[in-house]
């Protein structure tokens, strides 16, 4: 009896489906009856996945000429196969799969957790400012206060924020102190810690900022440069702007002053979550015509900079020890204040350069 073409195709398809189902049920019967249902499901799932992957990868697993593959060549008895052999077989399959599909790989999930810090405000850092003091802080000159070691400061940061510059300055046992606070508004964009660090690194430009004396510009520092170290005082150039922040850094400076000649400072930079502290201390005596008027380690200026909602906050505390008979004959407040003006102008100009560099 000769079947038509469509019927022959239908019968061939049904025959192939019957053989496929028979093979699957035969493989299920090979599982140990004592295995629990969960293990039986896992083995069945793994074998079926392996079966269909091999069907599509290898042409010689099934013979499409009608020849059957002997069961002993394709069926594995889970009771007789050692665990080591199973692991070796899985590794061999992975090696074959990677050779056939070298572009396939399984990467571990990439999880990056970065802390997010909300920008603080001036009132959070200095909550005790009066309305008039706050207005002065937001002006171009900022707020200044001069006091001795027996008097109390005006600028008191929030104690919970650990911005206690005064206690660090008092460790040097100063006789006189000056505190300053100014908030510089942003112009082109908000600044970050890297901008602050790069602004503080422009040591060579300190000399370029004058102060006003009798309505005339007067340059207190005629030279400003980095030096190699406290023992090797050879000038070196400023490095290019940094791309990353260090945890801390120590550098050495030489400033040539109009009255006292060369002044040598050690600068210590430390970086916190919100801001950067920059401490400057003289590591050599300050002399006036070869007469020492200030011993080494007796002058300290600490600058703290933080980006706040209102702008760039610059908080400064300076302390110095001067003998009584010298202090009585010199207007120290005015002289020190002029030098603080230079440092503030230098920092602000460096921040403006950072704003324009992007």
* pLDDT of amino acid 140: 85
pLDDT tens, position by position, 262-297:
999 999 999 999 999 999 999 999 887 777 888 899
- Which residue reads 């909602």 in tokens? 309
Q: Which two tokens stand for residue 286?
A: 């300050």
* Across 16-30, 32-46, 344-358, least confident range: 32-46
| pLDDT beyond 80 at 332 | no
Say what angle helices 193-200 and 332-356 make with each other, to 10 degrees.
120
* pLDDT of amino acid 249: 95
* Across 2-11, 72-81, 83-92, 109-118, least confident range: 72-81
241-244 — which CB contacts under 8 Å span 24+ positions?
Answer: 241/198, 241/201, 241/357, 242/194, 242/197, 242/198, 242/201, 243/194, 244/194
| pLDDT beyond 50 at 221 | yes
Q: For the residues 327-353, what does the mean pLDDT come to?
A: 83
Higher pLDDT, 89 or 178: 178
The percentage of residues in the chain with a pLDDT greater than 70, rounded to a whole number, is 64
* pLDDT of amino acid 294: 85
Q: Which CATH superfamily groups domain 122-356?
A: START domain (3.30.530.20)
| pLDDT beyond 70 at 13 | no
Q: Where are the domain boundaries for CATH 3.30.530.20 in the chain?
A: 122-356
Q: For the residues 145-172, what does the mean pLDDT come to?
A: 92
pLDDT tens, position by position, 286-325:
887 777 888 899 999 999 999 999 999 999 999 988 776 6
Q: How far apart are CA 332 and CA 146, in angstroms?
A: 10
* pLDDT of amino acid 162: 87
- Write down the mean pLDDT value for the chain: 77
| pLDDT beyond 90 at 212 | no
Q: How far is CA 279 from the centre of its chain?
A: 21
Q: For the residues 221-227, what does the mean pLDDT come to?
A: 96
* pLDDT of amino acid 326: 66
Determine which helix (DSSP H) or strand (DSSP E) holds 306, and give its type and residue range: strand 299-308
* pLDDT of amino acid 46: 43
* pLDDT of amino acid 165: 95
Q: For the residues 85-98, what does the mean pLDDT come to?
A: 51
């Amino acid at each position: 009896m000769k079947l038509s073409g469509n019927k022959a195709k239908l019968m061939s398809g049904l025959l192939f489906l019957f053989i496929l189902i028979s093979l699957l049920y035969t493989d299920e019967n090979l599982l140990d009856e004592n295995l629990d249902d969960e293990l039986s499901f896992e083995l069945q799932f793994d074998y079926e996945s392996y079966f269909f992957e091999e069907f599509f990868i290898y042409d010689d697993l099934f013979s499409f000429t009608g020849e059957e593959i002997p069961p002993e060549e394709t069926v594995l008895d889970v009771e007789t196969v050692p665990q080591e052999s199973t692991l070796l077989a899985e590794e061999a399959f992975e090696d074959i799969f990677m050779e056939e599909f070298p572009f396939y790989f399984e990467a571990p999930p990439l999880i990056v957790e970065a802390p997010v810090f909300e920008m603080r405000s001036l009132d959070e850092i200095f909550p005790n400012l009066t309305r008039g003091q706050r207005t002065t802080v937001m002006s171009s000159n900022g707020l200044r206060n001069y006091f001795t070691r027996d008097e109390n400061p005006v600028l008191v940061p929030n104690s919970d924020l650990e911005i206690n510059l005064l206690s660090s300055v008092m460790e040097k046992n100063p006789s006189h102190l000056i505190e300053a606070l100014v908030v510089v508004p942003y112009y082109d964009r908000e600044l970050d810690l890297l901008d602050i660090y790069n602004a503080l690194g422009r040591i060579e430009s300190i000399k370029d900022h004058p102060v006003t004396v009798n309505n005339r510009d007067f340059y207190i520092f005629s030279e400003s440069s980095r030096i190699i170290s406290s023992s090797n005082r050879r000038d070196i150039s400023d490095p290019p702007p940094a791309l990353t922040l260090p945890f801390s850094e120590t550098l050495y400076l030489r400033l040539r002053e109009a009255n006292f000649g060369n002044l040598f400072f050690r600068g210590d930079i430390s970086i916190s979550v919100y801001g950067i502290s920059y401490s400057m201390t003289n590591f050599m005596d300050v002399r006036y015509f070869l007469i020492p008027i200030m011993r080494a380690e007796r002058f300290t200026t600490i600058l703290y900079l933080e980006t706040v909602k209102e702008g760039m906050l610059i908080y400064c505390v300076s302390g110095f020890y001067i003998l009584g008979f010298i202090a009585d004959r010199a207007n120290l407040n005015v002289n020190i204040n002029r030098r603080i003006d230079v440092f503030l102008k230098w920092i602000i100009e460096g921040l403006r350069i950072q704003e324009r560099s992007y």
